[in-house]
Amino acid sequence: MSKILYVVVPCYNEEEVLELTTNKLTEKLKNMIKDGIIDKESKIMYVNDGSKDKTWELIEKYNKENKFVTGVCLSRNRGHQNALLAGLMTAKEYADIVISMDADLQDDIDAMDKFIEEYNNGCDIVYGVRSSREKDTWFKKNTALAFYKIMNKLGAEVVYNHADYRLMSKRALNELENYEEVNLFLRGIIPLIGFKTANVEYVRAERAAGESKYPLKKMINFAIEGILSFSVKPIRIITSTGFCISALSFIYLIYVIISHIVNNATEPGWTTIIALICLFGGFQILCIGIIGEYIGKIYSETKRRPRFIIEKTILQDGGKDGKK
């Protein structure tokens, strides 16, 4: 039996592109239904992220004219990641599979067939991966590359060149719901869910209309969010720096004392001052680092992420529901 697909599209001030996106997605859904790939109850779900233009009015209008269009409206602008989560959590109540994509048609909608093929092969999460970034500006390409490199060095497992174009099964979405963190960085959280996954390559096009809603400031915030919510390594670096400085100051202290005794050539008081400055400087950084470690622990605790996810259970014989 074919599955119900919901395509979740977060929109922030997207009035210029919405009609085109609706037409393209409607046509795509119709074709997929005709080919028996997805169920006829499949829908597009727009999430209006507090747009200041006519985006929501347009969504309401399309909803009246087009049976494929549904919408969710957020109370205010909460940013792409939160809008996306709102859409995913709403859609999973109605859908078997959900694909998330941007409103600007940069993601190749024809890759959806391959997404569903992978889902039918048993994958719960399918990542859309850009095969090239030729259409991006030099600046965007290189900052993005640096971002993935830093993230991976810091130990967060992000899929290289994958934005938020992906398929998730209902089961994966139900698990995503358990990640209750407020600092949302879906690209880092979703790989933590596990299950069988696959990558599907596609060519990323230019924005179909309108301007990027991710100016440099938002991009920097997004990168910091990604790093800080996935790694305590920056804190570790402080601790190690403090430790090294302390060790070096200690060696220096010994040198200063020896030179004071041996050649007695220093100004009176100099030795003590230098030695104490170095020692306390190093010691203070070390202490800050240690406090930081604790804050890091508290930080990850307050997120209350699930400690494990059970994929399957084998029920024991004899007891009702496996309970003896």
For ligand UDP, the binding residues (CB under 6 A) are 10-12, 14, 49, 77, 79-80, 83, 102-104, 106, 212-214
Residue 15's binding partner out of Mg ion, ligand UDP, none, with CB under 5 to 8 Å set by partner kind: none
Q: Which is nearer to ligand UDP, 121 or 212 (CB)?
A: 212
Smallest distance from the beta carbon of 304 to Mg ion, in angstroms? Answer: 32
Q: Which is nearer to Mg ion, 143 or 241 (CB)?
A: 143
Strand spans (E) along the chain: 5-11, 43-48, 69-73, 97-100, 125-130, 162-169, 197-202
d(CA 246, CA 302): 32
The CA–CA distances, whole Å, from 80 to 60, 99, 107, 186, 305 equal: 20, 15, 16, 10, 21
Q: Which is nearer to ligand UDP, 77 or 300 (CB)?
A: 77
Smallest distance from the beta carbon of 203 to ligand UDP, in angstroms? Answer: 14
Smallest distance from the beta carbon of 133 to ligand UDP, in angstroms? Answer: 11
Q: Which of 119, 129, 80 is nearest to 97 (CA)?
A: 119
Q: Which of 12, 6, 66 is nearest to 42 (CA)?
A: 6
Smallest distance from the beta carbon of 74 to ligand UDP, in angstroms? Answer: 9
Strand partners, 168: 98, 125
Smallest distance from the beta carbon of 234 to ligand UDP, in angstroms? Answer: 25
Q: Which of 142, 21, 45 is nearest to 95 (CA)?
A: 45
The one-letter code for the residue type at 74 is L
Q: Which is nearer to Mg ion, 150 or 219 (CB)?
A: 219
Strand partners, 103: none
Q: Which is nearer to ligand UDP, 23 or 212 (CB)?
A: 212
Q: Which is nearer to ligand UDP, 37 or 46 (CB)?
A: 46
DSSP string, 277-320: HHHHHHHHHHHHHHHHHHHHHHHHHHTT--S------PPPSSSB
Smallest distance from the beta carbon of 277 to ligand UDP, in angstroms? Answer: 47
How many amino acids of this chain bind Mg ion (CB under 5 A)?
Answer: 3
* Interaction of residue 124 with Mg ion, rule CB under 5 A: no
Task: Tell me how far apart the terminal alpha carbons of the chain are, to the nearest angstrom.
Answer: 36
Residue 103's binding partner out of Mg ion, ligand UDP, none, with CB under 5 to 8 Å set by partner kind: ligand UDP
Q: Which is nearer to ligand UDP, 222 or 243 (CB)?
A: 222
Smallest distance from the beta carbon of 322 to Mg ion, in angstroms? Answer: 48
d(CA 304, CA 293): 18
Q: Considering Cα of 123, then 228, then 12, then 92, what sign does the dihedral take? A: positive
Q: Which of 14, 104, 108, 124 lies at the binding interface for Mg ion (CB under 5 A)?
A: 104
Residue 175's binding partner out of Mg ion, ligand UDP, none, with CB under 5 to 8 Å set by partner kind: none
Residue 250's binding partner out of Mg ion, ligand UDP, none, with CB under 5 to 8 Å set by partner kind: none
d(CA 319, CA 324): 4
* Interaction of residue 106 with Mg ion, rule CB under 5 A: yes
Residue 96's binding partner out of ligand UDP, Mg ion, none, with CB under 5 to 8 Å set by partner kind: none
Smallest distance from the beta carbon of 294 to ligand UDP, in angstroms? Answer: 34
Residue 202's SS3 state is strand
CB 157 within 8 A of CB 186: no
* Interaction of residue 108 with Mg ion, rule CB under 5 A: no
Q: Which is nearer to ligand UDP, 11 or 173 (CB)?
A: 11
What is the binding site for Mg ion (CB under 5 A)?
102, 104, 106
